[in-house]
Structure 1
Amino acid sequence: MVMIKHLPTDSAVQREIHGETAEWSLTDHLLAATVDHLAVANWMFQCVNTGEDDETPDPPKPVPRPGVTDEDGEEQGEGSTPEGATEAVSPSALARFFG
Structure 2
Amino acid sequence: MDLLDWHHGRLSSRRLAVLVRHLPRDSALARELHGEGSEWTVTDHLLAQVADRLAEANWMFAMVHRDEDSEPLEYPEPVSRPGRPTGPGDEDDAGSPAGMPSQEELAVFFRL
Task: Determine if the TM-score, normalized by the shorter chain, exceeds 0.5.
Answer: yes
Please say if 1:93 is aligned against 2:105: yes
**Alignment partner of 1:23 out of 31, 36, 39:** 39
Aligned partner (choices 71, 74, 78) of residue 62 of structure 1: 78
Q: Percent of aligned pairs with the same residue?
A: 48
Aligned-CA RMSD value:
2.1
What TM-score results when the alignment is normalised by the length of structure 2? 0.63
Specify every segment of 5 or more residues in structure 1 that has no aligned partner in the other structure, as ranges.
71-83
Partner AA of 1:4 in structure 2: V
Rounded Cα–Cα distance in structure 2 between residues aligned with 1:45 and 1:4: 49
Report the TM-score when normalising by structure 1: 0.71
Question: Where does structure 2 lack aligned partners over 5 or more consecutive residues?
Answer: 1-16, 90-97
Cα-to-partner distance string for 1:21-77 (whole Å, 9 max, x where unaligned): 10111111111111111000000111111122111100000111111134xxxxxxx
1:93 CA drift (Å): 3.0
Task: Tell me how far apart the structure 2 counterparts of residues 35 and 15 of structure 1 sit (CA, whole Å).
Answer: 25
Q: Could you tell me which residue of structure 1 aligns to residue 14 of structure 2?
A: none
Question: Equivalents in 1 of 2:105, 2:83: separation in Å?
Answer: 11
Q: How many residues align?
A: 83
